[in-house]
Chains A and B, each alone.
Chain A
Amino acid sequence: MKPLELMEQGRFLGEEFLLWLWMRSMAEGGASGEDGDGSGCFVDDAIQLVSERGEVKEISLRKGNPAESREAFEALARGMRPAKMKLRILSGDLEWVCTLNAATLDMGTLKLPPSTGKAPHERLHDRLFLLEEGAGHLERRLKGFLRARSEDPDGLQESMRAWVKAGRSGEALPTGEAPWEA
């Protein structure tokens, strides 16, 4: 299969991964679910939702807190899917911010934690290390999602439907503040 065809075939998985990250950022404090991993992954202030059906094909929700907005959950309840989502990953003192693309899983507009290197090659090593660390946090979560998706697709669908329903009615809001708001 050609690379572009493979990308199109896998787009739905990327969209569902973003949904899963979104749900976990609200319901599980952004945890990866892996033992010993204290990192958190949260949806930040930008979500782009798309649909092939319906009168509205694309919605862009920006600024404020789109992840907990009624507009977002109403769009999800109509069958729209996240095409891009701005994410914030926290691990200890380190923070990554990027826009994750569902179709390609590319990290756009990626802001890395500060580098301590002074010389160009030191900076390069630092930045490459931080790139891989950031990608690692996403990949651990992708593994967790794939496991849930393949082992119990019905269970995952039910829990996601319940989350969308609760979000649409306003019940799904987390009890605490997001860490960056503290």
Chain B
Amino acid sequence: MSILQGTVSLKRFLVLGPVPDPKDLQAGLAQDQFRPFQDGMEEERIGWCDWRNPLITPPDEDWVSQERFAVFGLRIDTRRVPPALLKAHVDLRLQTLQKEKDLAFIGKEARISLQDEVKLELLRKVLPTPKVVEVAWDLKGGILWTTASSSKAQGALASIFIKSFGCEIHPLAPLVLAGRLSPELSVEGLMALDPLDLELEEA
């Protein structure tokens, strides 16, 4: 799903906090740009990328600024070793080890250590699965449009947003939107309304 084409599911957030100037915005994007996996046991990597292509990191300054919007992507890469495959490799290694060392039994700590070793080797061979969430930040209106649909992606976006720009994002749910559209109506007053009763007696 993309803001650029086709059908798209969108979520809006209210951005709270001072809007960074273009220089600080770009600095935040560069600071937390997407960086590929290194060796290690990490299974997830998150960072900013260009909205045109997820391989362009950090986002290109000339393409981030789109009139009053700042547009960029949040790339979330995951790499996983399928549990069944991991178990199969570990079992084979254990059998080989037992044969080589003539051991009847391998202790728990040794097993765990071996499993980590095998997992590390397999993780190096796994291609990461990338997911890109698009972000269009209306810097004047203080609204963030995003294609982040899952609570996991929204959580990742909220965390990295505050880290990069010092701004919190809050979902633009009915009460929040009501407060923005009709500031003359108090949110407390709306919350205190009794829900409409539309239940009718049986016909």
Q: Which residues of A contact B (CB under 8 A)?
A: 3, 6-7, 9-14, 16-17, 19, 76-79, 102-112, 115, 120-121, 123-125, 127-128, 131, 135, 139, 142-143, 146-147, 149-150, 153, 156-157, 160-161, 164-165, 168-169
Contact = CB atoms under 8 A, between A and B. Distances in A.
Given A110-B9, A146-B182, A168 B173 contact: no
Interface string B164-203: 0000001111111110011001000111011111111001
B59 to A, nearest CB: 13
Interface string B49-87: 001100000000001001101010000000000000000
B41 to A, nearest CB: 32
B171 A124 contact: no
Contacts of A19: 196, 198
B10 interface: yes
Contact of B198 (A77, A112, A124): A77
Interface of B: 3-5, 7-12, 51-52, 63, 66-67, 69, 71, 136, 145, 149, 170-178, 181-182, 185, 189-191, 193-200, 203
Majority DSSP secondary structure for residues of A touching B: helix
Given A16-B196, A107-B9, A161-B200, 14 more contacts: A3-B170, A6-B175, A14-B174, A17-B174, A103-B173, A106-B9, A106-B12, A107-B10, A120-B4, A121-B63, A121-B66, A131-B3, A153-B194, A165-B200
A91 to B, nearest CB: 19
Contacts of A120: 4, 52
Q: With a 10 A CB-CB cut-off, give which of A3, A77, A149, A156 has the most chain B CB atoms.
A: A3
A57 to B, nearest CB: 16
B200 A124 contact: no
A157 B171 contact: no
B197 A157 contact: yes
A47 to B, nearest CB: 15
Contacts of B199: 77-79
A149 B193 contact: yes
B3 A12 contact: no
Q: With a 10 A CB-CB cut-off, give which of B5, B12, B178 has the most chain A CB atoms.
A: B178
